[in-house]
C-alpha cells in the first residue's frame, strides 16, 4: 500500500514563475491537508480539501496561492509569481475521514525560489 506521494521532491523556480506541487493521497483517502514549513519553524496549516471541495483555506495567503483536489488525480498546490519568501518545504497529508483519524504525511516538496 503506497504511502502519500509528493512530486517533485525538489523544485527550483525563479522569481515570477509558477510552482505546481502535487500530492497523491494514500489509496482510499479523500481528505488532504497542505502545510508549509519555513526553515527552523514548525508546520503551518494552509488548506484542507476533500474531493472537489475546499473545506478550510484560512491558512492560505489570499493572493497567488490556490489549491484543488479534483475528482480524479492528485491534489495540486499552485503558487503563481513566486517570490523568495515562498521558499519552504511544503507537505501534504491525507486521512481516511475527518476526525480523530491519523494524518499520513508525504515526504514534502522543497521549493527554492532564486
- Binding status of residue 55 toward other proteins by CB under 8 A: yes
Of the pair 18, 56, the CB lying nearest other proteins is at 56
Pick from 1, 28, 39, 58 the residue near other proteins by CB under 8 A: 58
Least distance CB 111 / other proteins (angstroms): 14
Contacts of 5 (CB under 8 A, 6+ apart): 23, 24, 74, 106
Q: Which of 30, 45, 68, 76 binds other proteins (CB under 8 A)?
A: 45
Using CB under 8 A, which of 8, 15, 41, 81 touches other proteins? 41
CB crowding 52-91: b at 16 or more within 10 Å, else e: eeeeebeebeeeebebbbeeeebbbbebeebeeebbbbbb
Which parts of this chain interact with other proteins (CB under 8 A)? 4, 6, 33, 35, 40-45, 48, 55-56, 58-59, 91, 93, 98-108
Amino acid at each position: 500500500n503506497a504511502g502519500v506521494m509528493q512530486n517533485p521532491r525538489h523544485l527550483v523556480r525563479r522569481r515570477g514563475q509558477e510552482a505546481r506541487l502535487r500530492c497523491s493521497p494514500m489509496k482510499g483517502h479523500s481528505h488532504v491537508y497542505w502545510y508549509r514549513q519555513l526553515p527552523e519553524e514548525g508546520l503551518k496549516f494552509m488548506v484542507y480539501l476533500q474531493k472537489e471541495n475546499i473545506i478550510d483555506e484560512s491558512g492560505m495567503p489570499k493572493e497567488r496561492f490556490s489549491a484543488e483536489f479534483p475528482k480524479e488525480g492528485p491534489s495540486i498546490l499552485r503558487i503563481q509569481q513566486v517570490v523568495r519568501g515562498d521558499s519552504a518545504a511544503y507537505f501534504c497529508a491525507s486521512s481516511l475521514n475527518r476526525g480523530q483519524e491519523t494524518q499520513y504525511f508525504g515526504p514534502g516538496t522543497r521549493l527554492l525560489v532564486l
